[in-house]
Amino acid sequence: LGIDAAMAGVWNDPPTETLDSLFPNDNDDFVKIFGAVLRFDDVGNLIAMALVGAFLYGLFQYTKAGLAMRAVASNPDSSRLVGIPTGRVLWGSWGLAGALAALAGVLYAGAVGTITPTLLANAFIYATAAAMLGGLDSPLGAIVGGLSIGIVENAAAEYQPDWVGQEMKLVVALALIVVVLLIRPSGLFGTARVERV
């Protein structure tokens, strides 16, 4: 709501543009997987997510650049002492993050069909919730967290339409995050931080 109000203050009539999906998304284009009916663009987005996840896993596990990124994120001072060019690694990391954000924006906007100034506001909330649920230091956890949130909130909206409905799905996601953080603050797959006193 705050972002919408800010945009309304800048533009009396916020600009909107249309964007076609990268995948077929007509009402007649769908596929059944284990009884679930999915549109082709949903399947395409899932495949794109799997490819990006596999790319990031390979990058962080098997390349010098990925290991340098992990080292700088973990301890930039020690990384600088062992000869890792932290400045260049940070530039590369932010560039990679920007490229992945652009890809996510194109996929999401194509699924929605329109581009608005507040297009990714809800997506940002869901992405943050997925990362916190799965663990901030676990890429696999973020994927599992995102899928878990999607399944739980849609099931709640479907089976409890009087309590949840389509309008309150975001509350289900936030409540799930609160419960997980109370039980396991590092997330489901995150590494618990141990500090010596």
Tokens standing for 106? 């194109």
Higher pLDDT, 85 or 167: 85
Tell me which amino acid residue 194 is.
V
- The arithmetic mean of pLDDT across residues 43-65, rounded, is 89
- Mean pLDDT score of the chain: 80
Share of the chain above pLDDT 90, in %: 19
Domain boundaries, the chain: 19-117, 120-192
Q: Do the beta carbons of residue 37 and residue 44 sit within 8 Å? A: no
Question: Is residue 74 scored above 80 in pLDDT?
Answer: yes
Cα–Cα distance for residue pair 20/146, rounded to 1 Å: 24
Helix (H) or strand (E) holding 39: strand 36-39
Residue 73, exposed/middle/buried by CB under 10 A (0-12, 13-18, 19+)? Answer: middle
In this predicted model, what pLDDT tens digit does every residue of 110-127 receive, in sequence order? 877 778 777 777 788 888
